[in-house]
Structure formats: structure tokens, C-alpha cells
Amino acid sequence: MKKIYAVVYIFILALFLLAGCAKAPPVVKKDEPKVKEPPPVPVVVKKPPVAPPPPPPDMEKLPDIVRSVPDSKVWVRYGKTKMGENYYNQTNIARSSNIATVTLYRVVTDLCRKQMIEEVKKYNPKKSVKYHYYEHDVRVDEMDCKNQKWRVKDLIHYDDKGSVLDHHTYENEPWQPIKFVTDHHTLQKSICVAEEKPVVKKKKKK
């Protein structure tokens, strides 16, 4: 009899358990948040070091030349620039109205010589070789003392042996203003001031 009760009890317990399992809500599995993968590390391509651009080629080396020294009895030094040492001829200054015509002598520097070589090379490479020995030039200028202007009339380039490299004659060149603190400004003070000084007549003694 006890065995029967035990079996019945177990059977009823089993029914309760099955009913409870049937009523229990289903277990929903929550999706776990996806962990974002870190972006791939960019591949760094090491570029070879860029060499600095080569310096501009130096102008060809100039031969040594002997500079001329103008005769101080004829030529008066009136200034020096980066292009040369300047003189004017004090013995043949021609004057007409306000215009003074003066001859100039310039002993050129190496910088002037180099620039002239490059300039001549543009149109006559063969001729530019001779300018390695460019030593001085002689120029004839007109100066308008009243209006403070100047223009070139004639220009001759010489080498260190006194041979002519080139000769230019200018007809009716436009007048250029005489700029302050230039070689022409210095020349003007020597040429034009002398022209403008009034001649003082001495009174005769009675």
C-alpha cells in the first residue's frame, strides 16, 4: 500500500514539474554586442629622402686681367658702383644751352664682365668668349642740366689690350631721368654745377 502511495506521489510531482516547465517563459538569449575591430594600421611607406636641388651653376671662371688706370690729367674720378669705377673727361666737355656732352670712362668689375658675357652669349656665343677680357668702356653722354635728364650717344667696349670688342652709336635715344644717388647724379653735380656758376667780373680799379 505504501508503495502505491509513493508511486502516486511521484507521478503527481512529475506532473507539477512538467506543467511548471511548460508555463515557464522561454529564455531569450540576448545578442552580445559586437566588439568593433580596430581599423587596420595604415601601412607607412617611407619615402627616400629628397635631395635638395643643385645650386645654380656658377658662371665660368674669368681670367685674370690687368686693370687700366686713366690719366689723372684728363680723367676725373667721380664715383664707383658695383659695375665699375667711373671717370669723366674734364678736357672736352661740350656745352650747348642746357645740354652738356661729356665722355665717360668706366673700368668694369668682374660682376659687370660676367653679366656682359651672359648677355652677349644669348645672341652670339662665339663673340661672348672675347668678353672674358672685357676691361673698360668709353661712353659719350648728353646731360640736360636744367631738366635733370641724360641719354647715351656712343658706347665702345674694350678688352684689356685696348682692342675694341663692340661699338654702338645711338641716335635720338629717349631721355632718362637722373635718379638720386646714382653715378649720373654724382656726375651731374660735377658737370652741371660748374656750368651754372655765374662768372663774377672783377671791378677795374680806377
* Residue 38 domain flag: no
Beta strands in 16-74 (DSSP E): none
H, E, C per residue of 62-127: CCCCCCCCCCCCCEEEEEEECCEEEEEECCCCEEECCEEEEEEEEEECHHHHHHHHHHHHCCCHHH
Domain count, the chain: 1
pTM assigned to the model:
0.66
* Residue 113 domain flag: no
* Residue 40 domain flag: no
184: containing domain: 75-107+133-196
* Residue 35 domain flag: no
* Residue 42 domain flag: no
* Residue 45 domain flag: no
* Residue 62 domain flag: no
State the chain's maximal CA–CA distance in angstroms.
Answer: 188
Judging by beta carbons within 10 Å of its beta carbon (0-12, 13-18, 19+), is residue 182 exposed, middle or buried?
Answer: middle
> DSSP character for 178?
-
* Residue 174 domain flag: yes
Model confidence at 185, in pLDDT bands (50, 70, 90)? very high
pLDDT tens per residue across span 90-114: 999 999 988 999 999 999 999 999 9
pLDDT tens per residue across span 26-77: 555 556 666 677 777 777 667 677 666 655 545 568 999 999 999 999 999 9
